[in-house]
């Protein structure tokens, strides 16, 4: 069998490149870089197919800002190269700066913002599909023992598959050959991630895990097949080749389930095909795995690996940016350093017809993606050849009727969904009876509604605010936002494994609340990007679920030892106490990833309750709707201090000063607060008096405090970073004494004297600010209650006394409003030939069909809340003597399914 070698392997690495002069047998490759304000973030390489670097630039952050760079090199005219460009921050090169790549003066690539963290292109590769066929043949021969390839040859094959995967789908022979190579590998060696050398994953970097060249080549091949062959276009031409083709690594992740015994069996489910723009400031919506904004709607059905399912949707969804997703694990793990699964295992199918076929060699949950702005309402989706999977729903339009019955469904992944929260875990993680699944879901929903309330966001949005998934690895080098958030790694074959999420929200969920805080796009003081995002956990646990505030504060971030008082102590022994806090991008930062960075927020909640913070963000919403955008990060300090003080109806400057947030123009802020009637707060004054006792009085007191927050002070402290955390506390414990304690007490007193020059302010406590911005207007239109303002959902109660209707509305935040309406008569006109009397009534209501030849099938009296209170069949009257005074609905059912409804008034 022919073994191929590419001339690119013989390229010489030119170390002295700048601008090249090429001869007739060569071509010039030139790279032009214009850096942006962050030149040090950019670097690039030009490499041959073996990965040997031919030319490079920007390594080690050497590029200057806003500077042009040009480098070129001459290479053989038939050399095949690939160009890679990196941005360490992940936002590309800000246009109009950017990168351009020329081949003999012809522009072949350009990039700027779209580079993101990484971009790649091939250069001068003229016969790539022949390379693919040669690579497939050589790899198959190696697997079957006909030839033996060395590490360099296998690496070259891997690179060919990585660079030219589209050629795998270029013809029917290449598709069949690709399939045959995978089958031979599975038969001769064993499927990926199932053998002793691969079952726990392995490093992508060859230097970190040498000897895995064959496995890396197979991963590149199978990823290329998945990306290029398992597509609607290829399936349309060759359905017989894709149907039944599964990847055998599915047995270890994401799991295998047999297809239904009857492939024609259909299951129908309702989904909400709405994604309206929510009230309030929007979170980041474009955080799906593919960068889109769609909301995901589960169907409770699962595709068996390798099978094909048929999905039927209403015509209203066709051609309107709806998709079917097969496989919930949509995050691309390219940036991870280990292979634990293929990087991409989820497929997305555009809904371009009312019936489409979907497939995936890994199988996966079948879901519908609803685009932003959709308003098609509740629609039915039917799936043929789908396997039922556990689906626990507590949505307004559908609640799972029997949670226990769901546990018997065979699908390998279970979905839990409420209005605000969704999560996906392995079905085998659910141990019957271990947790109250319904209560856990209710707690998640209640917790997130609490966050929405304080942030003045829509209480029930169309897209979940928290969607979490367990995956074989996190999606990035650090925890991150996402839809789904993939911050929960697992070993799928560990059965039952950890009980993620189904124990309800609690201390082990602070990471997901932290990342949700990022996704919610909450406004902040400068430097609080990695601090304020911990407050949603406290909102959820304390305001939402009623947990103790101190406990919620402690578990909002690690270490879980800083309660409200210890956080205040930490701030008062900080290096910058009395002045502006350190928000530098360095290890001395006093704000990010630590309780003292957001302590002023939970101090406000402790002193005044949550209403001041809700008022603050509610006013930002009102301002935004009136064309005033205060921004998200790095808000203007004085404006934010004023607005937060107004929201609390208390001067919060002393509190902010303690936590290192000082006004820029103190006199202007003071004058503005006075003009707005915001006075010095007795509550804040008293808290400052509490702080006096929270400053450690000597070294022994400091050590006691330090050991309380860092029990490992003496074991970890000596070798830890001295700028923060346990290392900083250890060093401080060596020097802190009574003299320093007095210095810090003097600083605190100076803060008190600055804002309370006359001593303790007068006052009788905190103002009631809870409903300042929740004004509601109640109206009655055609005897229907219409509410404007407040926060939905509302609780509406109606009482009738004589001919007066009293309507009381309580909104989600607990604010109430009442209105009364005269009810002298009911205004509905009766249909011709039908008389309803008496109305008002007290004992019986009669229906006279004089002049109408139809008979009455049934009469019902229904409450305004929809409850059937009494009914009569084949009768012309209905008894109402047992009903309380009020308004009810009389429903008349005539033959042929004709229904007539009229309001009636019952008097006592």
SS3 letters across 495-512: CCCCCCCCCCCCHHHHHH
pLDDT in tens, 395-425: 999 999 999 999 999 999 999 999 999 999 9
Reduced 3-state DSSP string for 246-309 = CCHHHHCCCCCCCCCCCCCCEEEEEEEEECCCCCCCCCCCCCECCCCCCEEEEEEEEECCCCEE
CA distance 566 to 595: 9
Mean pLDDT of 865-882: 82
Give 550's Cβ-side CA count (13 Å radius): 6
CA distance 861 to 869: 6
Q: Please tell me what DSSP assigns to residue 483.
A: B
Average pLDDT over the chain reads 93
Q: Is the Cα dihedral 394, 400, 401, 403 positive or negative?
A: negative
pLDDT band at 294 (very low <50, low <70, confident <90, very high): very high
pLDDT in tens, 208-223: 999 999 999 999 999 9
CA distance 40 to 280: 38
Q: Could you tell me which of 220, 492, 133, 332 has the C-alpha nearest to residue 212?
A: 220
For the chain, what percent of residues have pLDDT higher than 90?
Answer: 83
Structural domains in the chain, CATH included, are 7-123 (2.60.40), 128-242 (no CATH), 266-506 (2.60.120.1250), 522-698+737-755 (1.10.390), 776-822 (no CATH), 835-906 (2.60.40.1930)
Give 748's Cβ-side CA count (13 Å radius): 24
Sheet holding 391-393, edge to edge: 391-393, 413-417, 421-426, 466-471, 485-489
Q: Beta 347-350 vs 323-326: how paired, if at all?
A: antiparallel
Give 394's Cβ-side CA count (13 Å radius): 19
Distance from the Cα of residue 792 to its chain's centroid: 23
Give 709's Cβ-side CA count (13 Å radius): 30
CA distance 645 to 612: 8
Q: Is it the case that residue 858 has pLDDT exceeding 90?
A: no
Q: Could you tell me which of 490, 491, 539, 533 has the C-alpha nearest to residue 512?
A: 533
Q: What is the pLDDT of residue 824?
A: 54
Which residue's entry shows tokens 């009469």? 859
Backbone angles phi, psi at 239, to 5 degrees: -60, -30
Mean pLDDT of 272-297: 94
CA distance 336 to 315: 40
CA distance 534 to 554: 11
CA distance 54 to 899: 80
Greatest mean pLDDT range, 14-23, 692-701, 846-855: 692-701
Q: What is the pLDDT of residue 792?
A: 92
Is 544 in a helix, a strand, or coil?
helix
Q: What is the pLDDT of residue 15?
A: 34
Q: How many helices (H) and strands (E) does the chain have?
A: 22, 36
Backbone angles phi, psi at 754, to 5 degrees: -65, -40
Q: Beta 118-123 vs 338-339: how paired, if at all?
A: unpaired
Question: Looking at 368-377, 596-605, 608-617, 836-845, which range is the least confident one?
Answer: 836-845
Q: Is it the case that residue 296 has pLDDT exceeding 70?
A: yes
Q: What is the pLDDT of residue 866?
A: 63
Distance from the Cα of residue 333 to its chain's centroid: 17
E strand or H helix that includes residue 38: none
Is 43 in a helix, a strand, or coil?
strand
Q: What is the pLDDT of residue 853?
A: 52
Sheet holding 81-87, edge to edge: 53-57, 42-48, 81-87, 118-123
Distance from the Cα of residue 602 to its chain's centroid: 24
Mean pLDDT of 249-253: 98
Question: Looking at 13-22, 345-354, 724-733, which range is the least confident one?
Answer: 13-22
Q: Is it the case that residue 17 has pLDDT exceeding 80?
A: no
Q: What is the pLDDT of residue 7?
A: 30
For the chain, what percent of residues have pLDDT higher than 70?
Answer: 95
pLDDT in tens, 542-577: 999 999 999 999 999 999 999 999 999 999 999 999
Q: What is the pLDDT of residue 804?
A: 78
Contact criterion met (CB below 8 Å) for 354 and 261: no
Q: What is the pLDDT of residue 865?
A: 60
Instruction: Looking at 274-416, list the stretches that DSSP marks H as alpha helix, in order from N- to C-terminal side.
Output: 403-406
Mean pLDDT of 776-795: 86
Distance from the Cα of residue 221 to its chain's centroid: 31
**Which residue did the predictor score with more confidence, 690 or 826?**
690
For the CA atoms of 804, 805, 806, 812, the dihedral, rounded to the nearest 10 degrees, stands at: -170
Distance from the Cα of residue 252 to its chain's centroid: 26
- In 139-265, where do the E strands start and end? 202-203
Contact criterion met (CB below 8 Å) for 680 and 755: yes
Which residue's entry shows tokens 């799906």? 288
Question: Looking at 47-56, 330-339, 795-804, which range is the least confident one?
Answer: 795-804
Instruction: Provide DSSP, 334-366.
Output: TTSSEESS-S---EEEE--SSEEEEE-TT-EEE
Q: Is it the case that residue 613 has pLDDT exceeding 70?
A: yes
Q: What is the pLDDT of residue 823?
A: 66
pLDDT in tens, 651-693: 999 999 999 999 999 999 999 999 999 999 999 999 999 999 9
Q: Could you tell me which of 666, 667, 676, 620 has the C-alpha nearest to residue 645?
A: 676
Q: What is the pLDDT of residue 4?
A: 36
Q: Is it the case that residue 20 has pLDDT exceeding 80?
A: no
Non-local (6+) Cβ contacts of 558 within 8 A are 510
Q: What is the pLDDT of residue 832?
A: 64
Q: What is the pLDDT of residue 826?
A: 46
The first and second tokens of residue 705, run together, are 């405090």
CA distance 719 to 506: 32
The first and second tokens of residue 338, run together, are 């280990």
* pTM, two decimal places: 0.86
Contact criterion met (CB below 8 Å) for 602 and 536: no
Mean pLDDT of 8-34: 68
Q: Please tell me what DSSP assigns to residue 860.
A: E
pLDDT in tens, 104-161: 999 999 999 999 999 999 999 988 999 999 999 999 999 999 999 999 999 999 999 9
Q: What is the pLDDT of residue 476?
A: 87
Which residue's entry shows tokens 């129908």? 268
Q: Could you tell me which of 463, 438, 577 has the C-alpha nearest to residue 516?
A: 463
């Amino acid at each position: 069998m022919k073994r191929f070698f590419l001339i690119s392997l013989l390229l010489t690495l030119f170390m002295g490149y700048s601008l090249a002069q090429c001869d007739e047998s060569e071509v010039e490759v030139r790279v032009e870089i214009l850096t942006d304000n962050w030149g040090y973030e950019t670097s690039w390489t030009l490499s041959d197919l073996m990965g040997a670097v031919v030319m490079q630039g920007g390594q080690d952050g050497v590029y200057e800002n806003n500077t042009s760079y040009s480098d070129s090199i001459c290479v053989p005219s038939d050399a095949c190269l690939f160009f890679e460009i990196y941005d360490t921050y992940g936002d590309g090169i800000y246009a109009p700066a950017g990168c351009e790549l020329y081949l003999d003066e012809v522009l072949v690539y350009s990039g700027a913002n779209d580079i993101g963290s990484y971009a790649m292109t091939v250069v001068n590769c003229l016969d790539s599909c022949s390379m693919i066929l040669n690579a497939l043949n050589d790899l198959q021969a190696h697997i079957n023992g006909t030839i033996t390839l060395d590490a360099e040859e296998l690496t070259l094959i891997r690179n060919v598959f990585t660079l030219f995967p589209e050629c795998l789908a270029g013809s029917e022979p290449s598709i069949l050959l690709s399939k045959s190579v995978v089958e031979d590998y599975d038969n001769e060696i064993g499927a990926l991630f199932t053998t002793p050398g691969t079952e726990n994953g392995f490093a992508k970097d060859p230097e970190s895990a040498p000897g895995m060249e064959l496995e890396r080549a197979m991963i590149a091949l199978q990823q290329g097949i998945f990306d290029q062959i398992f597509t609607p276009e290829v399936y349309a031409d060759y359905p017989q080749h894709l149907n039944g083709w599964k990847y055998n690594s599915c047995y270890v992740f994401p799991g295998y389930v047999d297809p239904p015994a009857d492939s024609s069996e259909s299951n129908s489910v309702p989904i909400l095909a709405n994604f309206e723009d929510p009230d309030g400031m929007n979170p980041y919506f474009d955080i799906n795995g593919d960068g889109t904004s769609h909301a995901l709607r589960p169907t409770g059905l699962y595709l068996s690996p390798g099978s094909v399912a048929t999905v039927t949707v209403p015509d209203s969804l066709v051609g309107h940016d709806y998709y079917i997703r097969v496989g919930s694990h949509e995050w691309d793990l390219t940036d991870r350093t280990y292979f634990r699964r293929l990087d991409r295992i989820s497929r997305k199918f555009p809904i371009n017809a009312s019936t489409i076929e979907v497939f995936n060699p890994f199988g996966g949950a079948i879901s519908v993606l609803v685009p932003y702005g959709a308003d098609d309402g509740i629609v039915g989706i039917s799936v043929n050849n789908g396997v039922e999977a556990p689906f626990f729903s507590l949505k307004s339009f559908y609640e799972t009727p029997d949670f226990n019955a769901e546990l018997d469904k065979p699908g390998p992944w279970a979905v839990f969904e409420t209005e605000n929260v969704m999560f996906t875990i392995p079905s085998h993680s659910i141990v019957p009876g271990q947790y109250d699944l319904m209560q856990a879901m209710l707690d998640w929903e209640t917790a997130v509604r609490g966050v929405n309330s304080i942030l003045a966001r829509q209480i029930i949005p169309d897209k979940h605010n928290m969607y979490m998934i367990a995956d074989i690895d996190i999606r990035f080098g650090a925890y991150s936002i996402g839809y789904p958030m993939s911050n929960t790694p697992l070993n799928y074959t560990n059965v039952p494994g950890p009980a993620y999420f189904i124990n309800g929200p609690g201390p082990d969920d602070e990471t997901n609340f932290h990342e949700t805080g990022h996704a919610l796009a909450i406004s902040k003081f400068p430097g609080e990007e990695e601090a304020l995002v911990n407050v949603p956990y406290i909102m959820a646990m304390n305001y939402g679920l009623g947990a103790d505030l101190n406990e919620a504060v402690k578990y909002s971030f690690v270490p879980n030892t800083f309660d409200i008082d210890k956080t205040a102590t930490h701030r008062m022994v900080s290096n910058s106490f009395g002045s502006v806090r350190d928000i530098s991008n360095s290890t001395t930062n006093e704000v990010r990833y630590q309780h003292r960075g957001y302590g002023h927020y939970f101090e406000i909640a402790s002193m005044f309750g949550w209403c001041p913070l809700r008022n603050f963000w509610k006013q930002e919403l009102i301002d935004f709707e009136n064309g005033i955008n205060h921004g998200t990060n790095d808000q203007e300090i004085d404006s934010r201090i004023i607005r937060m003080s107004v929201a609390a109806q208390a001067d919060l400057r002393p509190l902010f000063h303690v936590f290192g947030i000082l006004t820029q123009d103190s006199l202007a802020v003071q004058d503005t607060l006075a003009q707005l009637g915001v006075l010095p707060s007795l509550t804040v004054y008293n808290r400052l008096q509490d702080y006096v006792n929270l400053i450690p009085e000597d070294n022994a007191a400091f050590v006691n405090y330090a050991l309380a927050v860092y029990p490992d002070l003496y074991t970890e402290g000596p070798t830890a970073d001295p700028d923060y955390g346990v290392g900083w506390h250890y060093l401080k414990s060596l020097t802190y004494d009574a003299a320093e304690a007095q210095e810090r007490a003097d600083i605190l007193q100076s803060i008190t004297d600055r804002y309370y020059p006359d001593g303790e302010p007068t006052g009788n406590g905190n103002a009631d600010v809870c409903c300042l911005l929740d004004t509601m207007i109640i109206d009655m239109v055609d005897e229907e209650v219409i509410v404007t303002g407040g926060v939905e959902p509302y609780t509406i109660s109606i009482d009738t006394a004589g001919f007066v209707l009293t309507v009381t509305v309580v909104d989600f935040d607990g604010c109430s409003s009442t209105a009364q309406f005269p009810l002298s008569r009911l205004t509905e006109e009766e249909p011709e030939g039908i008389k309803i009397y008496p109305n008002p009534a007290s004992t019986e209501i009669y229906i006279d069909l004089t002049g109408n030849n139809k008979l009455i099938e049934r009469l019902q009296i229904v409450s305004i809340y929809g409850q059937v209170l009494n009914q009569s069949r084949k009768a012309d009257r209905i008894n109402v003597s047992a009903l309380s005074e009020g308004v009810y609905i009389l429903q008349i059912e005539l033959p042929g399914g004709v229904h007539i409804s009229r309001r009636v008034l019952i008097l006592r």
